[in-house]
Amino acid sequence: MQHSKTSPPCLIKYGGNAMTNPALMQEVAQTLAQWTQPPIIVHGGGPFIAQALKEHNISLPFAEGHRVTTEEAMPIIEQALMQRVNRPLVQALNHAGLRSIGLNGLDAHSIKANFRKLAKQNGKSLSLGRVGDVSQVQADWIFPLLEQGICPVFACIGLAPDGKACNINGDLFAAHLAAALKVHRLVLLTDVKGVYRNFPDPESFCSHLSLQEVDSMLQSPDLAGGMRPKLEAVQCAIKLGVPEVHIMDGTKSELLHQLNQTPPPGTCIQHTS
């Protein structure tokens, strides 16, 4: 019997300070529990990964917004994402009344990835190690969960070509999963209002961007490192057919109730045919 698929309404990339503030996590969970349909959630875990690596005396550089990931570091990163972020987030959601389940891209071989190619830093090529670029999404099994009112919560870990785990940027992980599931809206939560042409100048805030403007920003060497993966994710999601992407402040849980307002909170990028 073939399962009938209904496009989910929203995929949320959860991140930033909202993860490190338990009270804020509870607020977000309570807000999402009030939605008529469960979202899909993807999370990263930068602060927790940094702390776990520090505890093991491991220091890893960043290149193009991606954390270089060694063989030694990968199990530590995996444990940090699942134990320090995924489990508390799932507990908070369940406590708020939104039935949730903790997952990652290894589960059911959902997210397969190739190793990310060399990045250039200071004119030299740099190996990113076990950093993955999504190559395939197999997530049809998520639809029955959503129809039962269950919220899938994904840590951004993927299946590498060698059959082991790899570290995937959470925003890009979210973009590919959103496109594969044909969600109506992708929301990338961050610690700022949205996208600025000249951060933090308030006059340079962008409430709307076209895909062409996103492409142009990604060509700029002045783009802040942390915003680059987010705009790469926007570019990826829109080009793969996601109707709209929002980048917005995740430290204000009430904004999640305002996504259908005009104008919506944060920066909105819409797919135009």
Q: What CATH number has the domain bearing residue 135?
A: 3.40.1160.10
The mean pLDDT of the chain is: 91
pTM of the model as a whole: 0.93
1 in a domain, yes or no? no
Range of the domain at 253: 13-270
52 in a domain, yes or no? yes
256 in a domain, yes or no? yes
* Number of domains composing the chain: 1
Whether 4 shows a pLDDT value over 80: the answer reads no
What pLDDT, in 10s, does the model give residues 102-149?
Answer: 999 999 999 999 999 876 767 777 789 999 999 999 999 999 999 999
7 in a domain, yes or no? no
**pLDDT tier at 187, thresholds 50, 70, 90:** very high
219 in a domain, yes or no? yes
pLDDT attached to residue 6: 61
200 in a domain, yes or no? yes
165 in a domain, yes or no? yes
4 in a domain, yes or no? no
Crossing angle of helices 227-239 and 170-180, in 10° steps, is 10
pLDDT attached to residue 119: 64
What pLDDT, in 10s, does the model give residues 39-86?
Answer: 999 999 999 999 999 999 999 988 877 899 999 999 999 999 999 999
Whether 3 shows a pLDDT value over 60: the answer reads no
